[in-house]
Amino acid sequence: MLICRKAGSLLVPAAALFSLFLLSTSWAAEFAEPSPLAIHSLLLDGAQYQHRMIAVGERGHVLYSDDQGHNWAQARVPTRTLLTGVFMLDETHAWAVGHDATILQSSDGGRQWQLRYRAPDKESPLLDVWFKDQNRGFAIGAYGLFLETSDGGTTWQQRWISETDDFHLNQISSAPDGTLYIAAESGVVYRSDDGGNNWGSLTTPYQGSFFGSLPLTSGQLFVFGLRGHLFRSDNRGDSWTGLATGTTAMLTSALRSSDPQTGGERCLFAGLSGVLLVDQGCNGEALQLIQRPDRSGISALLSSDNDELVLIGEAGITRFKP
Amino acid sequence: MMSALTNALEKLLFNHRRGVIVLFVAITAVMLYFASQLRVDAGFTKLLPMKHEYMQTFSKHQQAFGGANRILIALMVKEGDIFNKPFFDRLAAITDEVFFIPGVDRTRVTSLFTPNVRFTEVVEDGIAGGNVIPADFEATPEGLATVRQNILKAGIVGRLVANDFSGALISVQLQEFNPETGEALDYIQVAELLEERIRGQYENQDFNIELNVHVIGFAKAIGDIAAGAARVILFFALTFAITALLVFATTRSFRLTAALLGSALIAVIWQLGLLTAMGYGIDPMSVLIPFLIFAIAISHGVQMVNNHNTEVFQGADAETAARTCFKRLLIPSTIALASDTIGFITIYLIEIRVIQEMAITASVGVAVIIFINLLLLPVLLSYIRPKAGQREKMARRAARMNGVWRVVARAATAKPATGIILFSLLLLILGAWKATDVKIGDLQRGVPELRAESRYNIDSEVISNKFSIGVDVLTVIVETSPEGCINYDIMSAIDHFQWAMRNVEGVQSVIALPGVVRVINAGWNEGSLKWRVLPRNASSLAQSVAYIPTSSGLLNNDCSVMPVMIFTTDHKATTITKIVSAVKAYRDEHRRDDVQFLLATGNVGVMAATNEEIDRAQFPILLYLFSIIIALCLITFRSLATTLCIMLPLALVSLLAYALMAMLDIGLKVATLPVVALGVGVGVDYGIYIYSRLRDFLKTEDSLYDAYLMTLSQTGSGVLFTAITLAIGVATWIFSPLKFQADMGILLTFMFLVNMLGAIFLLPALAYWFKRLQPAKHST
C-alpha cells in the first residue's frame, strides 16, 4: 500500500504532464497502422545484422525479418511519418529516423519502437542515422540538420558541422578504419577522422548532390549521386576519379558483398528507374548495368542467402539475383 | 351485374361488326403512321438509377470530372514496339480525328500528342519539363529516342503507353448534352463514327507494320448493343414464321391463321405507334418487348380461336360461337391481361429510366392486346365459317388428344395428386436452397450486355492486359473547403483514405491528388524518394499542386473537390460490395466535418448504385406483383383455395427461375430482374384460363376428375399450344449476339414452359387436396 501511494504521488504530476503533452500534440498516440500491403509500400532504407533485417518507409511502416528477408512482419511503431533511415548496431539495438525530425529506438531487434525525438517545427526531415556504440550516435538530415547523442538516443543535441553551409546531409557511413563520411548536397562530402567530433569538407569534381558513399578498406571510397554520377577515391577522398555508369538515373545506395562467382568481393550500386550496377572486385573497372524490367526505384540493398539481394524501394521489398 | 355488362358489351360489339372493323382499320392506319417514325433512343443516364445516393454525387460532379462516360482508343502494334514513324503518324492522325467526333469534350482529350501530357525531370539546377512529344518532333531515330525518354520521365507507361511499349492510348470524355444547344448526343452515331473514321480508316492499312485499333467506352458498347439489337428483326421474322406454321397446323385454316397473326401484328403496330405518340423511342435494351407483346397476343388469341373452334365443332354457327366465346372469355382474359399489365408495371419500381421505359412499353402493349384480342378478334372470328370436312378433322384430333388429357387429368385424383405435391415440395426445397446463391449484378468480365467473345469485350481485355489502368474504376468524391489541397491536414486525411482503400481486397490501384503531390514534392527535391511526403506548409503544397492541371481529373478549379479513383480488379458484385462497404466503414470510423467521402462515380460506382437499386427493388416488386395478382384472383374467384391453386405453382416456378439463374451464373441485373415479373405475369394466364373453365365444369360434372378432363379438352390444347409458341418465340433469343437477350431468352423459355406444367399438373393436384380439406368452399 505504502509503495503504491508513493509511486502514485509521483505518477500524478507525471501523468498530468503527459496528458498535456498528448493534448498539445495528438501525434503521440498515433501508431502506424498494420497494413497487408505494407511490404509493397514505399520503403526507403534497410539494415541487417546476421539473420535479422529491418526495412523502414512510408506511413511509419517498419518491417522486420528473422530469416534474411524471406518472411517479413510489421513492427509496432509510434508514428505514421515517412521513415528515411535505419541503423542496426547489433541483434537488439536499432534506431530509425524520418520526417518531422523523428527518431525512433528499438531494444528488441526492431519489433517494438519508442519515440525518442520529434520536431516537426524544424520543417526538416532526418535522412540517416548511425551509431558508434550503444551510447554514441548521429542523426543527420536536410538543411544541415545534425543531431548527436551520448546516452543511447534518450537526449539529442543539435549542432552545425559546417560553419558556412546548410546543405542536405544525405547519408552517413563508416570506413573499417573508423573514418566517417557524410554524403551531402552540392557535391560536398564531409569527413571526420575522430569519430564524428570534428568534420571537414572534401572537394569533389561534381556540383550535384551525393546520396551516399561506400568506404572500403585502406582508404578506398565510392561516392554516388544525382544523374548516375559515381566517383572513386583511393586516398580517403582527397582526389577523385569519375566512373562511366551508362545511366542517368539517380544512384541511391550501395552494398559490398562477397562475389558468388569469384569468391572475392563485389560492390553493388542501386538507383532509381530500377538501375543496378555490379562492380566485380570493387575496383570500378568493369561496371555492369542492370535495369530491372519494372523500373521502380531502388532505395537500399541488403544481401541475403542464395546470393540473392533484398531490394528495398518504391515497390517495397523484392528479392533479386543479379 | 358482371353478366349484364358482358351481355351489353356483346350486343354493342356484334351488332356493329362492320363499324368495329372500320374503326380498328382506321386506328391501325394512324398507328402505322406513328410507328413508322419510331426512333432508336439510347442514352447513358437512362441506364443509371439517378435517384440513388451515389448517382446524386455522380450528377453533381459530372460536369467537372466527366463521370463514367469515357472512350478509350488503343492503337497497338502487332509486333515490335511503337517507336516507328507509321505508328506515330497514325497516332497523331487519330488524335486529330477524335476532336471532330460529336460530343467529345475537347479540353479532356488525352494522348501522347495532346499538350496536357507533360513530363518533368530533375536536373542539377532544378526541374525541367515539357511536352512528351515536343513541338518540333520528327519521327527520326533521334526524335523517337527523345520521346521514349520523355515517356519514361512523364511516368505514363501503363497509363497512356502500354506496359510493354506495344501501343498507346487516347482517352476521350463525352458530354451527353451539347453544352451550347442542349441537344442530346446520338450515341449510335458516335459509335458508327468511331467504327468508320477511327477503326475503319486506321486499322490494317498498307503501312509497313500491322496496327490494330481497339475501342472501348459506353458509346461504343451501346453502338454494338444497338447493332446486335437490330438482329431482333430476324428473330421476329423467325418467330412469326414458326407461329404461323404452328397455328396453321392446329387450325388447318388460312383465314383463322391470318386473323390470329394479323391481330397480334396489329397489337404490335399499336404499341409502337403509341410509344412514338407518347414521345418515347425504343431503347436497345428494351427492343425485345414488342416481340414479347406479339407472343402474348398470340397466346391469348389462341384461347379465343380454340374456344371458337370448340363451339363451332359442337354445331354453333360462326357468329353465335364468337358471341359465346366473347362472353365466356371477356372476364378471364381481362383478368389475365390485367395481371400481365400489372406484372410489367411493377418493374417501374426500379428507378432506372431504361427499366421504367420497359415497364411503360410493355404495359402499353398488353393494354392494347385487351382491346384487339377481346374486341377485334371475336368480330373477325364471327365471319370465319368452318370449311366442309373441318369438323371431322377436328373431331379426330380431339379424340387423339383426349387420350393424353385422360392421363393428365389423373393429376386431380388422390394418389397422383399426393405424388405431384410431394414432388413439388422437393423442388421447393431444392429451389430455395439454390435460389439463395443468386448474385446481384454482373458475374462476368467485360461488358455484360455483350458476349464474352464479342469484339468489344476482346478490345476491353486487350486494353486491360496491356495497360495498368483498370477499365473498372470506382471514384470516391472527396468534398472539402476551397483550397483544401493546400491544407496539410485535409490532404493527409485523403492520403490516409487512399492507402486504406489500396489495402482492400479487390483493389488494383488507387490514384488521388495526395499521392501525386508526394511524387511531385520529391521532384522538387531532386527526385529523391526520401522526399515523397506531403509537405506540411501550405506554400510547399501549393507549389506541388500547381503542377497538376484540373484536366487530370484529380481536383477542381478551387480545389474543394478531389476524387479518389479506386481501380478494381473486376466488376463482380462481390468485389463491388466489398469495396463499397470498406468505404462506408472507413468514413463512419473517420467522420470529420471538413472532409466528406462521397460515393461514387466511375463505371463501378454506377454498377454499385445499380446493384443496390436492384437489391432494394427486387423484394417490393415481387411483393406488389404477387399481392396484386392475389387480389385480382380473390376478386374474380371469391375463393382463397382457388387463389392458392393459381398462385402456389407460380410462386414455385419463380423460385425455380432464381435457382436456374444461380446455376447458370446469370446475375440479377437490369436485364434479368424484369424477366421474373414478366414470367409471373404471363404464367398466371394459364392458371386463370384453366381455373375459370374448371369452375364452370365443377357445377355440371360429378367429380373433380371429370370436370378437369372437360377443362383440359377445351382449354388444354390452348394452354399447351400457347406455352410452346411463347417458348419457341423467346427461345430464338438464346442465339442473340447480345448476352442479356440470350439470358432473358433462357429464363423466359424456362418460365413459360414450367409455368404451363405447374398449371396443368400442380394446380389440379392442389385443387384436389383443397377440395378434400375444405369441400364447402370449393365450388363458389
Q: What is the domain partition of chain A in residue ranges?
A: 11-320
pTM of structure: 0.82
Residue B465: which H helix or E strand, with range?
A: helix B455-466
Q: Residue for cell digits 546548410?
A: A166
Nearest to B536 among A35, A123, A313 (CB): A123
Q: Are residues A59 and B499, on separate chains, in Cβ contact within 8 Å?
A: yes
Please give the Cα distance from B528 to A42 (Å, whole number): 12
CA distance B146 to chain A (A): 14
Judged against a pLDDT cut of 80, whether residue A148 lies above it is answered with yes
Mean pLDDT on A69-77: 95
Please give the Cα distance from B280 to B718 (Å, whole number): 34
User: What pLDDT is stored for residue A125 in this prediction?
Assistant: 95
The answer to whether the beta carbons of residues B159 and B60 sit under 8 Å apart is: no
Q: Strand A169-174 and strand A180-184: pairing?
A: antiparallel
Chain A residues lying within 8 Å of B526, measured CB to CB:
209, 226, 250
Q: Are residues B529 and A44, on separate chains, in Cβ contact within 8 Å?
A: yes
Q: ∠ at Cα A210 (A209, A212), nearest 5°? A: 155
The answer to whether the beta carbons of residues B148 and B161 sit under 8 Å apart is: no
Query: Any chain A CB within 8 A of the CB of B537?
Result: yes
Q: Are residues A125 and B530, on separate chains, in Cβ contact within 8 Å?
A: yes
Residue B353: which H helix or E strand, with range?
A: helix B353-371
Query: Any chain B CB within 8 A of the CB of A207?
Result: yes
Q: Give the strand order in the sheet containing B507-511.
A: B507-511, B561-568, B473-480, B595-601
Query: Any chain A CB within 8 A of the CB of B529?
Result: yes
Query: Any chain B CB within 8 A of the CB of A251?
Result: no
Burial of B36 (0-12, 13-18, 19+ CB in 10 A): exposed
Q: Helix (H, G, I), strand (E, B), or coil: what is residue B678?
A: helix
Q: What is the length of chain A?
A: 322
Please give the Cα distance from B27 to B310 (Å, whole number): 31
What residue ranges of chain B have pLDDT lower than 50? 775-780
pLDDT digits (tens, 9 = 90+) for A186-197: 999 999 999 999
Chain B residues lying within 8 Å of A249, measured CB to CB:
none
User: What pLDDT is stored for residue A10 in this prediction?
Assistant: 43
Q: In angstroms, how far is CA B293 from the centroid of its own chain? A: 17
Please give the Cα distance from B653 to B420 (Å, whole number): 14
Please give the Cα distance from B404 to B322 (Å, whole number): 27
CA distance B546 to chain A (A): 21
Query: Any chain A CB within 8 A of the CB of B539?
Result: no
Chain B residues lying within 8 Å of A295, measured CB to CB:
152, 157
User: What pLDDT is stored for residue B1 in this prediction?
Assistant: 56
Chain B residues lying within 8 Å of A252, measured CB to CB:
528-529
Query: Any chain B CB within 8 A of the CB of A297?
Result: yes
CA nearest to A56 within chain B: B530
Nearest to A82 among B123, B532, B537 (CB): B532
Nearest to B537 among A100, A123, A170 (CB): A123
User: What pLDDT is stored for residue B102 in this prediction?
Assistant: 87
CA nearest to B164 within chain A: A293
The answer to whether the beta carbons of residues B252 and B392 sit under 8 Å apart is: no
Judged against a pLDDT cut of 50, whether residue A23 lies above it is answered with no
Query: Any chain A CB within 8 A of the CB of B488?
Result: no
| Residues in contact with B254: Cβ distance below 8 Å, sequence separation at least 6, in sequence order | B248
Please give the Cα distance from B185 to B102 (Å, whole number): 8
| Residues in contact with B460: Cβ distance below 8 Å, sequence separation at least 6, in sequence order | B216, B445, B446, B447, B471
Q: Residue for cell digits 488503343?
A: B74
User: What pLDDT is stored for residue A4 in this prediction?
Assistant: 38
Please give the Cα distance from B690 to B409 (Å, whole number): 12
| ipTM for this prediction | 0.90
Paired strand residues for A222: A214, A232
Q: Are residues A125 and B527, on separate chains, in Cβ contact within 8 Å?
A: no
Interface test with B, best of A37, A97, A100, A311 (most B CBs within 10 A): A37
Query: Any chain A CB within 8 A of the CB of B527?
Result: yes
C-alpha cell at B410: 389423373
Query: Any chain A CB within 8 A of the CB of B455?
Result: no
Q: In angstroms, how far is CA A256 from the centroid of its own chain? A: 15
C-alpha cell at B580: 463499397
pLDDT digits (tens, 9 = 90+) for A86-112: 999 999 999 999 999 999 999 999 999
Per residue, the 3-state secondary structure of B141-166, as one string, reads HHHHHHHHHHHHHHCCECCCECCCCC
Query: Any chain B CB within 8 A of the CB of A120?
Result: yes
CATH numeric code, A11-320: 2.130.10.10
Paired strand residues for B168: B75, B161
Q: Which of residues 216-275 of B touch A (CB under 8 A)?
A: none
CA distance A148 to chain B (A): 21
The answer to whether the beta carbons of residues B96 and B112 sit under 8 Å apart is: no
C-alpha cell at B358: 420497359
Chain A residues lying within 8 Å of B157, measured CB to CB:
295
Chain A residues lying within 8 Å of B500, measured CB to CB:
33
pLDDT digits (tens, 9 = 90+) for A231-247: 999 999 999 999 999 99
Q: Are residues B528 and A211, on separate chains, in Cβ contact within 8 Å?
A: yes
Q: ∠ at Cα B67 (B66, B69), nearest 5°? A: 85
Q: Are residues B529 and A313, on separate chains, in Cβ contact within 8 Å?
A: yes
Q: Are residues A44 and B123, on separate chains, in Cβ contact within 8 Å?
A: no
Please give the Cα distance from B476 to B608 (Å, whole number): 12
User: What is the dihedral angle through the alpha carbons of B55, B57, B59, B65, rounded to the nearest 10 degrees?
Assistant: -120
Query: Any chain A CB within 8 A of the CB of B434?
Result: no
User: What pLDDT is stored for residue A58 in this prediction?
Assistant: 95
Q: Are residues A120 and B499, on separate chains, in Cβ contact within 8 Å?
A: no
pLDDT digits (tens, 9 = 90+) for A295-305: 789 999 999 98
List, as own/partner pairs, every contact residues B274-280 make where C-beta atoms lie below 8 angstroms and the sequence separation is at least 24, other chains included: B274/B31, B274/B34, B274/B364, B274/B368, B275/B38, B275/B360, B275/B361, B275/B364, B276/B34, B276/B35, B276/B37, B276/B38, B276/B39, B277/B34, B278/B360, B278/B364, B280/B41, B280/B357, B280/B360, B280/B361
Chain A residues lying within 8 Å of B515, measured CB to CB:
none
- Other residues' Cβ atoms within 10 Å of the Cβ of residue B231: 16
Q: Helix (H, G, I), strand (E, B), or coil: what is residue B384?
A: coil
Q: Which of residues 115-174 of B touch A (CB under 8 A)?
A: 122-124, 152, 157
- Percent of chain A surpassing pLDDT 90: 75
